[in-house]
Amino acid sequence: MADQPKPLMPHATATWLVDNTGLSFEQIAEFCGLHILEVQAMADDLAGSKYTGRDPVHAGELTQEEIEKGQKDSSYSLKMHKAPVEVTRTKGPRYTPVSKRQDKPDGIAWILRNHPEVTDAQIGKLIGTTRNTIGAIRDRTHWNIQNIQPKDPVTLGLCSQRELDAVVAKAAKKAGTTDEGQPVAVADNTSDKDKLIAELRAEREANEKAAAEAAQEAEAAAWLEAKRAAEAAGTSGGGDEPV
């Protein structure tokens, strides 16, 4: 069973199995990839963090029949019904940690001020943002424009110096100028139609990625709110019911 995939949220799944099944701690620990003492602490309500239970049957990771087999035989090892989908990188703007997303507007403002030749599509891919956000910062209609201070995106950790230099060089070449601002001869066989298609495709991918990140953040916020509500309900109830 060592190679069997683990639930997407092991601790939350273990909490649900402890509260809703008659499985042994060993079975739950093995299925969730946890130490048996962690499961014991959850059952005794001694765990440092309280987890909102996650139903593995509803998630498709376990079947009710599999749970019943385990309840009948404490030595039975639960088998994963459907492994969680592996999260993979897709085309589009880079993934930015939540802790750094608040710095994006500052990085965008810096590029707009210091490298106006860089296109919105290039900024979107470099920093991981949408054209609407870039336009709002450029037009100073962004909701937080009063607090946005242009800062080097490399210093902010939003991209590497090499990536920034490559984007700036590409934008300068496309604009037909060198770093010194001197015109250069650029042989570009790409038609305007192809350029427009490529730019629209990049914008669409950036918007899709941003929407996916927003959905993930919303889901995480909803989960946290449910967890807090469950904790509040347990506190107001005098501790008679486990959280």
The separation between CA 239 and the C-alpha centre of its own chain, rounded to angstroms, equals: 34
Residue 206: is its pLDDT beyond 80?
no
Look at residue 138 in the predicted model and tell me its pLDDT: 92
pLDDT at 127: 87
Greatest mean pLDDT among 70-84, 170-184, 201-215 lies in: 70-84
**Does position 98 have pLDDT exceeding 60, yes or no?**
no
How many other C-beta atoms lie within 10 A of the C-beta of residue 91?
Answer: 11
Q: What is the pTM of this model?
A: 0.39
Tell me how far apart the alpha carbons of residues 105 and 178 are, in angstroms, rounded to a whole number: 27
Q: Which two tokens stand for residue 136?
A: 């709002």
Find the Cα–Cα–Cα–Cα dihedral 68, 71, 75, 79, rounded to 10°: 30
CA distances from 121 to 54, 80, 130, 152, 167 (A): 39, 42, 8, 18, 11
- Give the residue-averaged pLDDT of 182-205: 64
What phi and psi, each to the nearest 5 degrees, are found at residue 167? Answer: -65, -45
Instruction: Give the least confident one: 121-135, 152-166, 182-196, 198-212.
Output: 182-196
Comparing C-alpha atoms, which of 61, 54, 14, 18 is closest to residue 34? 14
In the block, which residue shows the tokens 């620990």?
29
Cα–Cα separations (whole angstroms), residue 89 to 74, 94, 129, 130, 173 = 40, 9, 16, 18, 29
Token look-up 């990536």 returns: 163
Q: pLDDT class for 45, splitting at 50, 70, 90?
A: confident
Closest C-alpha to 10, from 22, 213, 46, 47: 47
Tell the residue number behind the tokens 């039975």, with chain if given: 76
Residues in the chain: 243
pLDDT at 187 over 50: no
pLDDT of the residue at 181: 47
